[in-house]
């Protein structure tokens, strides 16, 4: 096992990097200049048609199922250079590039593209919306074929294992026998672990970022408060609110709670301090501080693109996830031939480094070839979306090594790291 530690930048360097990241995420630049994959489109895969519905982990059947997915780069003749990107709670299939008439790029645009961490000149990148989502893949806001109405709470309980099972069907549809790697942060990291546990013969590598093998009581507690906020909204109506007012107030509060956990104390202090918002609202309890204004803006933005029931189902799937299935994790991973890169961030208190180290320890005990890096960052959990330079450095090297050993590329550059 290799352990790598990256040193923090100075405060003035952090501000410059943060400004550069913010500017680059908003402007659709020339793909030849900013290494973007350019214009992309979402594809759809349909399967599990009756009577061949998908049997979920809980025993219920679900079908038909639609999967929204995007691809970037080119699949080689051997079909051996495919990497599956796994999104977090609020993500979707649109991981990179730009959709027509949309200003913002995909959620991991700075990491996917020519010359980037997931280099589309070398690899065929796939990203799909998870089961239970609301961005094109079947979820509670989809039409229930038995009633002709949206599922609501008639949608069955799902798990991370079910999400990965659906992804496997997509990979089968694309006629890819083995993935060069899976990669994801937060809930995406859980899916990567599930791939290692459930389909070890289908993956050659895994990039596991800022995640846990199972949630702690504190992590479950934050999600439960968010769920209660949604269900306490009078417009939720036991999950059958479609066609009327959505529980936007409850969902906005849930998202506000989430954003508090995504940031560190240092990043909040640097970003907001105790500065006043100056919004001029007359109410005694109007938004007074910049941090309050930020949270309200994040909540208001989120409800425009996400479904409240999907939030309930997905957060429950995250909370009930336990890749070890009650066993010792090293026992589940024993015999796994995949190479694993585990990344954590020093200021991430939502998914602390200690949980990543537990994964690394289990991999070591199982004899899995594992590299671990704890990156010094002040961004908190958001660091897995923001620390582009550090992640790119590490992931590029890792993927080059896996590719070389699998014969995908013909050269392997050895790089030195300061430990």
* Residues labelled as active-site residues: 186, 348, 381
Residue located via tokens 């896996």: 402
3-state helix, strand, coil in the chain (%, to 5): 40, 15, 45
Burial of 329 (0-12, 13-18, 19+ CB in 10 A): buried
Identify the CA nearest to 321 among candidates 133, 160, 132: 160
Rounded CA-CA distance 48/350 in Å is 36
Rounded CA-CA distance 45/3 in Å is 40
Is 115 in a helix, a strand, or coil? coil
Rounded CA-CA distance 108/95 in Å is 5
Write the CB contacts of 184 (distance below 8 Å, at least 6 apart in sequence): 85, 86, 87, 88, 190, 191, 192, 207, 208, 209, 211
> CB-side exposure of 142: number of CA atoms within 13 Å?
23
CB 139 within 8 A of CB 132: yes
Could you give the maximum distance between any two Cα atoms of the chain, in Å?
Answer: 67
């Amino acid at each position: 096992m290799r352990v790598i530690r990256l040193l923090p930048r100075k405060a003035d360097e952090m501000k410059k990097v943060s400004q550069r990241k913010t500017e680059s995420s908003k402007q659709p630049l020339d793909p030849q200049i900013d290494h973007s994959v350019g214009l992309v489109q979402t594809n759809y895969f349909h399967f599990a048609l009756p009577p061949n519905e998908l049997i979920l982990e809980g025993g219920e059947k679900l079908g038909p199922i639609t999967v929204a997915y995007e691809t970037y780069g080119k699949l080689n003749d051997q079909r051996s250079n495919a990497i599956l990107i796994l999104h977090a709670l609020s993500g979707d299939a649109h991981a990179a590039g730009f959709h027509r008439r949309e200003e913002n790029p995909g959620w991991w645009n700075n990491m996917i593209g020519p010359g980037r961490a997931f280099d589309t000149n070398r690899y065929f990148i796939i990203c799909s919306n998870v089961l239970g989502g609301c961005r094109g893949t079947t979820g509670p806001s989809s039409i229930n074929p038995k009633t002709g109405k949206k599922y609501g709470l008639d949608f069955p309980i799902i798990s991370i294992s079910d999400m990965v099972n659906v992804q496997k069907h997509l990979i089968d549809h694309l006629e890819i026998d083995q993935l060069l790697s899976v990669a994801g942060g937060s809930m995406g990291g859980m899916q990567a672990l599930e791939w290692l546990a459930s389909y070890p013969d289908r993956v050659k590598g895994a990039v596991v970022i800022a995640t846990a093998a199972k949630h702690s009581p504190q992590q479950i507690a934050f999600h439960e408060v968010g769920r209660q906020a949604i269900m306490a909204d009078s417009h939720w109506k036991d999950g059958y609110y479609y066609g009327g007012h959505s529980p936007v107030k409850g969902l906005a509060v849930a998202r506000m709670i989430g954003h508090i956990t995504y940031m560190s104390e240092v990043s909040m202090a640097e970003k907001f301090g105790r500065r006043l918002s100056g919004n001029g609202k007359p109410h005694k309890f109007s938004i007074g501080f910049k941090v309050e204004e930020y949270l309200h803006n994040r909540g208001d933005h989120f409800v425009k693109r996400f479904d409240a029931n999907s939030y309930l189902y997905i957060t429950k799937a995250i909370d009930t996830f336990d890749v070890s299935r009650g066993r010792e994790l090293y026992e589940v991973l024993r015999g796994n031939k995949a190479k694993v890169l585990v990344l954590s961030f020093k200021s991430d208190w939502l998914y602390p480094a200690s949980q990543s180290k537990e994964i690394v320890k289990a991999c070591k005990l199982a004899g899995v070839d594992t590299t671990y890096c704890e990156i010094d960052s002040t961004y908190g959990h958001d660091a897995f979306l923001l620390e582009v330079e550090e992640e790119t450095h590490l992931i590029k090297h890792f993927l080059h090594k896996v590719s070389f050993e699998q014969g995908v590329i013909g050269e392997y550059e050895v790089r030195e790291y300061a430990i």
